[in-house]
Amino acid sequence: MSDHIQPIRGPVTWDAGQKGRWSIDGGRLGLLAAITVVLAAIVHLVTILVIPSFATRDAWSRINEIAEPIGITLLPRARPGDEVLPGLDPAIVYGACLFDLNQGPFAITAPMPGDYWSVSFHTREGIIFYAVNDEAAASRRFDIEIRNAQQMRQFRLEYPEPDEEILTIEAPGNIGFALIRALVSTPSLRPRVEAAVAATVCETFVPPPPVTEPVGPPLPRPSPLR
């Protein structure tokens, strides 16, 4: 160990030694190799962690490119040489709705017939924060609202009793998309499944402009006669 540490203390002797430009003693080479390995590991970890933030051809970017800003967009059927996203399942009809909670809470409602369907909510960073399929949702209507943390707090204040009909989910990010998958078990059913996915209603509740007067019945004022 001391062999490795010693050369770093004595760079002066190394310079003063009139050695050739590239001659390095073994201890210094070992130290440089160790520094290289540690630096390479740091570069490796940092690169792996930042790749998702700099990806320009990830699923979000590709869907944001083709999807309408409002309402549902059916992804075109995957055909050889004409795929909007790589690795789509040709037996699935995909529908995507973009959401931006900065504009207000987002709601999705769909009548889902057919064989298998699921809906998942993806953030811009590629995280699926909620997903449900036909089996798990059997007891519920497919009626989901997405709110950010602030909208969720406000919602809880306004409606302290949970609504059994509407599922309200808190999103970790403001921007993302909802993805509907519906299985086409036999090719003849495809038009029906596509129509069902296209009938999905995605909407953003744009809140009304803030009012100065409190809404609701006026508070009883103390009688001046009393």
Partner 1 sequence: MPSLQIIAVIAISAVLGIGSVWLAVVGDVGFEAIRAGAWTAWPTAGADDSDPYIRARFSRTGELPISAAEGTAFVATADSAGETLVGHCDYLITGRTPAAQWWTLTLYRDADLSLIANPTERYGFNSTNIVREPDGSFDIVVAPRARPGNWLPSDEKAKALRLVFRLYDTPIATGGSVADIEMPRIERGHCR
H or E stretch covering 126:
none
Residues 187-226 that bind partner 1 (CB under 8 A): none
CA dist 99 → 60, 72, 149 (Å):
11, 10, 15
H or E stretch covering 6:
helix 2-9
Q: Which amino acid is at 152?
A: M
H or E stretch covering 4:
helix 2-9
Q: Does 20 contact partner 1 by CB under 8 A?
A: no
Rg (CA), the chain: 29
Return the residue of 6, 17, 57, 68 that touches partner 1, per CB under 8 A: 57
Cβ closest to partner 1, residue 187 vs residue 210: 187
Cβ closest to partner 1, residue 83 vs residue 100: 83
Cβ closest to partner 1, residue 125 vs residue 203: 125
Minimum distance, C-beta of residue 178 to partner 1, in the bound complex (Å): 12
Helices 2-9 and 26-54, packing angle to 10 deg: 90
What six digits make up the tokens of 222? 């103390």
Q: Does 163 contact partner 1 by CB under 8 A?
A: no
State the SS3 of 14-76. Answer: HHHCCCCCCCCCHHHHHHHHHHHHHHHHHHHHHHHHHHHHHCCCCHHHHHHHHCCCCCCEECC
Segment lying near partner 1 (by CB under 8 A), choices 14-22, 148-156, 196-204, 213-221: 14-22
Q: Does 44 contact partner 1 by CB under 8 A?
A: yes
Q: Does 83 contact partner 1 by CB under 8 A?
A: yes
Cβ closest to partner 1, residue 10 vs residue 207: 10
Cβ closest to partner 1, residue 127 vs residue 201: 127
Cβ closest to partner 1, residue 70 vs residue 128: 128
By the criterion CB under 8 A, which residues form the site for partner 1? 11, 14-15, 21, 24, 32, 35-44, 46-49, 51-52, 55, 57-59, 61-62, 78-81, 83, 85-92, 94, 115-116, 118, 120, 122, 126-129, 131-136, 172, 179, 181, 183, 185-186
